[in-house]
Amino acid sequence: MTDAKTQTIPTTSLDPDVAAGVAQFLSPVVVNLQALAVDGKQAHWHVRGANFIGVHEFLDTFVAHVQGWADLAAERIVALGLPVDARIQSVAEKTTTPALADGFQQADATVAAVIAQIDATLAVVRTAIEELDELDLPSQDVAIEIANGLDKDRWFLFSHVAS
């Protein structure tokens, strides 16, 4: 049973239209990050070849990072009083990340595939950064933090195959 006082407290101090706008731009970020987490673990299990140990170990770190960023973005949306749909079937339907090949892959192919997924996610994150600029600066800060981290992890992966 809820008491009358809690029923009069708004979910957020933001205008409901602003909250909906934040969710519109951060929800695709959450979806792509969840896809990266699942595929990153798949890549971790199936990488082979010359850079195996470095790529294998870094992919675990990468998965932890993207799970944290997904949580950060999702919790921003939820803090504004709106739900997030990052169920596995929804993620599979809505992600913009390219498909990861199944089975074992050489390290260079694995790195290239994960970088392509990061690039697709960065495109979604950068759209959020642009759109949130006039809408809600704290939410834009969330997107900027995610972009900075993805750029850094992309660089770390790229360094495994750079000549």
Domain covering 15-161: architecture: Up-down Bundle (1.20)
- Residue 105's SS3 state is strand
Q: What is the pLDDT of residue 138?
A: 97
Per-residue pLDDT tens digits for 120-155: 999 999 999 999 999 999 999 999 999 999 999 999
CA 21 to CA 45: how far, in whole Å?
37
**3-class DSSP state for residue 61?**
helix
Q: Which band of pLDDT confidence, cut at 50, 70 and 90, is reported for residue 14? A: confident
**3-state class of 151 per DSSP?**
helix
Return the HEC string of 112-131. HHHHHHHHHHHHHHHHHHHH
Mean pLDDT for the stretch of residues 15-36: 95
Phi, psi of 9 (to 5 degrees): -80, 125
pLDDT of residue 30: 98
The whole-model pTM stands at 0.92
Phi and psi angles of residue 106, each rounded to the nearest 5 degrees, phi first: -65, 155
pLDDT classification of 163: cutoffs 50, 70, 90: confident
Residue 102, pLDDT above cutoff 80: yes
Residue percentage of the chain with pLDDT more than 70: 92
pLDDT of residue 3: 57
Per the document, the length of the chain is 163
End-to-end CA distance of the chain: 64
CB 111 within 8 A of CB 160: yes
- Cα angle: 126, vertex 25, 125; to 5 degrees: 20
| Torsional sign, CA 104, 108, 114, 119 | negative
